[in-house]
Amino acid sequence: MEAISKAYGKFSKLINEIVRILCIIFFVIMVIDVLMSVVMRYILVKPMVWGEQLAIYCMIWVGFLASSIAFRKGAHMGLDIVVKAVPRKVQIAIQVFAHVLIITFLAVLTVWGFIHSYAVRLQISPVVFDLSMSWFYLALPVGGICMLVQEVEVIINGAEEDV
């Protein structure tokens, strides 16, 4: 069992590193896009039509991907005061119930995200480089899968310490 736990921990860490790199890439694209939009609009007086939409889509991707990093660190908001106020057996029951709810929600988010992303595959973004809207909606299931991976890691090995 310990070997499986270690192997899953390595897999989870790899996913976390990939997510960090993707978050950095999307964030850099978003910052450059916003700066270019400001320069184009107010200095060159030739606004970019697609600037705002690209920034919004990058922000959505960063939000969903970065949520998995927060799962790994145990950084999502919780009501610790309620859990700490009850006996230990009740605390364990509350934590198990919370993990079941989280996994259920993330599974529904992932499945629904794939269904929705597939449903909009023929819609083309009129402003952002004529890309299929499916690419933007994929943030839901990809983020859901990444969060599921990290949630299972938290269940198996506990949350990562904040450094």
Count of structural domains, the chain: 1
Q: Kindly give the confidence (pLDDT) of every residue in the chain, 163 residues in length, as a single tens digit, with 9 standing for 90 and above.
A: 788 888 888 999 999 999 999 999 999 999 999 999 999 988 888 888 888 889 999 999 999 999 999 888 877 777 677 778 889 898 888 888 989 999 999 999 999 999 999 999 999 888 777 888 999 999 999 999 999 999 999 888 876 665 5
pLDDT the model gives residue 158: 77
Query: Within a domain: residue 162?
Result: no
State the Cα–Cα distance between residues 12 and 76, nearest whole angstrom.
18
Phi–psi pair at 132, nearest 5 degrees: -65, 140
Query: Within a domain: residue 15?
Result: yes
pLDDT the model gives residue 81: 78
Per the document, the length of the chain is 163
Query: Within a domain: residue 18?
Result: yes
pLDDT the model gives residue 41: 87
State the Cα–Cα distance between residues 52 and 94, nearest whole angstrom.
42
Domain range for residue 13?
Answer: 2-157
pLDDT the model gives residue 160: 64
Q: For the whole model, what pTM was predicted?
A: 0.86
**HEC letters along the chain:** CHHHHHHHHHHHHHHHHHHHHHHHHHHHHHHHHHHHHHHHHHHCCCCCCCHHHHHHHHHHHHHHHHHHHHHHHCCCCCCHHHHHCCCHHHHHHHHHHHHHHHHHHHHHHHHHHHHHHHHCCCCECCCCCCCEHHHHHCHHHHHHHHHHHHHHHHHHHCCCCCC
Query: Within a domain: residue 163?
Result: no
